[in-house]
Chain A
């Protein structure tokens, strides 16, 4: 039977193994013919959605890895608005609301409310797996 998973990532992309583990898990889910309902980034994990991250080219490009997963398997990458705003990961709408010149979110990610994730929990149709 095919299982649907919702992946919750709360660990930092620079100070935890959360993203590497979550990406491995996500790929294993897909390879085994299960599905990913969505990936939700909360807490320090939202930093990975910053489009201005520049890492040495021989290191794991986490933002790009998530973007590739999303594009190849049609998985939505959702970032919590409150967590993202307080960490400077903002979309064009938020930038204009706050009269800021630039936005910083990578185009593969979308900003959503915590309510969106809570609604997913309420459905109880998918298994939640947290990486922190």
Chain B
């Protein structure tokens, strides 16, 4: 079996500022992509706040990693998925998010994870 056939789902459900989980999850996604895996980076629940555009690092006195998320297509992560139920829950729509994300209902996300070789949750 070659590397091309390996699919890894990385699910980010932690919020961006109160925990480091999201950043460490994205780091793993980038490394997996560097190893030629097909990476599905999936944001659910409070994890969707990672994708809000125009965040201001002056407000948190620390570095933001939205630049890393914007650059993600250069790392061979083709798709960023967002669970649409999570967006609805927080009264957000696709227009609040970075441009290169795909919204999917949770049933489709479940299918993605079932067809992947492995899933890691952050």
Contacts and interface: CB of A to CB of B under 8 A. Distances in A.
A121 B8 contact: yes
A125 to B, nearest CB: 9
B28 A114 contact: yes
* Chain A interface size range: 10 to 19
Contacts of A122: 3, 6, 32, 35-37
Contact of B117 (A83, A117, A124): A124
A70 interface: no
A45 B32 CA distance: 20
Residues of B contacting A: mostly? mixed
Contacts of B37: 118, 121-122
Interface residues of B, number: 21
A118 B27 contact: no
Nearest to A82: B27
Interface string B104-122: 0000000000000110111
Given A43-B21, A121-B6, A122-B3, A114 B121 contact: no
B31 interface: yes
A122 B28 CA distance: 13
Contact of A121 (B24, B118, B121): B118
Interface string B86-120: 00000000000000000000000000000001101
A69 B29 CA distance: 29
Contacts of B21: 43
Given A124-B1, A128-B118, A132-B121, A83 B24 contact: yes
Interface of B: 1, 3, 5-6, 8, 20-21, 24, 27-28, 31-32, 34-37, 117-118, 120-122
24 contacts: A8-B120, A43-B21, A43-B24, A82-B27, A83-B24, A114-B28, A115-B35, A117-B28, A118-B31, A118-B32, A118-B34, A118-B35, A119-B35, A121-B6, A121-B32, A121-B35, A121-B37, A122-B3, A122-B32, A124-B1, A124-B6, A127-B118, A128-B118, A128-B120
Interface of A: 8, 10, 42-43, 82-83, 114-115, 117-119, 121-122, 124, 127-128, 130, 132
